[in-house]
Each structure stands twice: as C-alpha cells, then as structure tokens.
Amino acid sequence: MNTGSITKLQKAMGHSSINVSLTYLRGLEIAELKEEDIPNIKTPAKSKGLY
C-alpha cells in the first residue's frame, strides 16, 4: 500500500489523522462492477494475432 496517497488525501480533506481518512474511505459506497460494466478493449497487438 502506498501511504503517500492516503497522506495526500488526509491533507486535502483536512482530516486530523490517517484514521479519520480511512474511516471516511470505508464509508464511501462503491457499486460492485459487473462484467457488462467493463468495456471490451482490443489492443492492436491482440487484433493482429500477436498474442
């Protein structure tokens, strides 16, 4: 885990501690992704049969 990112969040949000930031992040609702939510992207190498 890169703690630099959580420290940046802490400063940006004005949280008093990393624990407050983690509590905030845990409280965010994130929808579960389904396979149809993820776009099908073809890479040039794959479309040319290089895989």
- Does the predicted model carry a pTM greater than 0.85? no
* Tally of residues, the chain: 51
13, 24 Cβ separation under 8 angstroms: yes
For the chain, how many structural domains are there in total?
A: 1
Q: What is the pLDDT averaged over residues 19-26?
A: 87
Q: Which residue segment(s) compose the domain that 23 sits in?
A: 3-47
Residue predicted with more confidence, 39 or 24? 24
From the CB of residue 13, how many other CB atoms can be counted at a distance below 10 Å?
11
What Å distances lie between residue 35 and 28, 30, 38, 39, CA to CA?
Answer: 22, 16, 6, 8
**pLDDT at position 25:** 85
Residue predicted with more confidence, 48 or 34? 34
Chain mean pLDDT for the chain: 77
**Helix residue spans in the chain (DSSP H):** 3-13, 18-27, 44-47
